C-alpha cells in the first residue's frame, strides 16, 4: 500500500451532524432554518455558522465582540447539551474505518469543533478508532493551517507522501493543498460536487460514496 495514514475532517465527512447543529441554532435564534440551509453555514467553525445564520435571517451581527460572544455561548451551550441526538456516521464509514484499522493505517481527526465537543461526539459515535483528535483548543491553528497535519505526521512517523487528507468543504481542500498530501473530497457531506467545483476543487479528487473513498485510500 502506498499510504500509511489518514487524517479526516469530522462534520460532513465522517459524521452527519447537521440536524443537531441546526437544532441548537434554531433554539438559540428562535428561528426555523432548514437543515439544507444550515449546511451552507457550517464548515468554518460554529462561530462563523452563527454569523452566517444571522445574516441569512437579516439580523445584525453584534458589532461588539463581548455581545457576540454572549450569543455564541448560548449557541454552544445549546449544542453541547444535545450533540448526538440525530448525529450518526455516514453510510459505510464504520466499515471503512474497520478495514483501515485492520490494515494498520494510522488515523486521526482534524475538526473545526471545539475540542471537548469533538472528543465527546467521537467517543459516542466512533469510539476507539483514532490516535489523534484535534479540535479548536488553541494548541494548533485551525484550518487551513498545516500545524495539526504536521503534528499528526510527526506522531505517525510519516511524511506527506504517506498521508491522505479527507474532507468535504473548501477549507478542507485548502488544508490538504497547504499540507502537500493527497487530498480526497467527499460529496455526501455539507458541500455538493457542484459547490466544490465552484470553489476550485477538481472533480478528479471527489468521491461520491464510501466504496470510492476506500478505493482511493488503498490505491498504490
For the segment 169-202, what is each residue's pLDDT rounded down to a tens digit? 999 999 999 999 999 999 999 999 999 999 999 9
Answer whether residue 213 shows pLDDT above 90: yes
Q: Residue 44's pLDDT is what?
A: 82
Q: Hey, what's the cell of 19?
A: 440536524
The predicted model gives 38-56 an average pLDDT of 92
Q: What is the DSSP letter of 11?
A: B
In the chain, what are the domains? 5-16+87-217 (3.40.50.1000), 18-81 (no CATH)
Instruction: State the pLDDT at residue 105.
Output: 97
What's the rounded Cα separation, in Å, for the pair 151 and 109?
Answer: 12
Question: Hey, is 164 helix, strand or coil?
Answer: strand
The reported pTM is: 0.94
Q: How confident is the model at residue 216 (pLDDT cuts 50, 70, 90)?
A: very high
Distance of alpha carbon 197 from alpha carbon 11, whole angstroms: 20
Residue 136 has pLDDT above 90, yes or no: no
Return the pLDDT at 43: 81
pLDDT at position 208, please?
A: 97
The C-alpha R_g of the chain, in whole angstroms, comes to 17
> What was the pLDDT predicted at 98?
97
Span 51-65, pLDDT tens digits = 999 999 999 999 999
pLDDT category, 20, cuts 50, 70, 90?
Answer: very high
Residue percentage of the chain with pLDDT more than 70: 100
Residue pLDDT, tens place only, 145-167: 999 999 999 999 999 999 999 99
Residue 15's pLDDT band, with cuts at 50, 70 and 90, is very high
Amino acid at each position: 500500500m502506498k499510504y500509511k495514514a489518514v487524517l479526516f475532517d469530522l462534520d460532513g465527512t465522517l459524521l452527519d451532524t447537521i440536524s443537531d447543529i441546526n437544532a441548537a441554532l434554531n433554539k438559540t435564534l428562535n428561528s426555523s432554518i432548514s437543515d439544507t440551509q444550515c449546511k451552507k453555514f457550517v464548515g468554518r467553525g460554529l462561530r462563523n455558522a452563527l454569523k452566517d445564520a444571522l445574516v441569512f435571517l437579516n439580523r445584525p451581527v453584534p458589532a461588539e465582540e463581548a455581545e457576540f460572544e454572549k450569543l455564541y455561548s448560548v449557541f454552544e451551550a445549546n449544542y453541547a447539551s444535545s450533540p448526538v441526538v440525530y448525529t450518526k456516521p455516514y453510510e459505510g464509514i464504520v466499515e471503512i474505518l474497520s478495514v483501515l484499522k485492520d490494515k494498520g493505517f494510522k488515523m486521526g481527526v482534524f475538526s473545526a469543533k471545539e475540542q471537548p465537543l469533538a472528543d465527546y461526539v467521537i467517543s459516542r459515535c466512533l469510539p476507539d478508532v483514532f490516535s489523534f483528535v484535534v479540535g479548536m483548543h488553541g494548541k494548533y491553528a485551525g484550518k487551513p493551517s498545516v500545524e495539526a497535519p504536521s503534528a499528526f505526521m510527526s506522531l505517525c512517523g510519516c511524511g506527506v507522501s504517506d498521508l491522505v487528507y479527507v474532507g468535504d468543504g473548501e477549507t478542507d481542500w485548502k488544508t490538504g493543498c497547504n499540507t502537500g498530501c493527497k487530498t480526497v473530497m467527499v460529496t455526501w457531506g455539507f458541500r455538493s460536487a457542484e459547490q466544490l467545483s465552484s470553489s476550485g476543487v477538481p472533480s478528479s479528487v471527489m468521491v461520491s460514496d464510501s466504496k470510492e473513498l476506500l478505493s482511493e485510500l488503498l490505491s498504490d
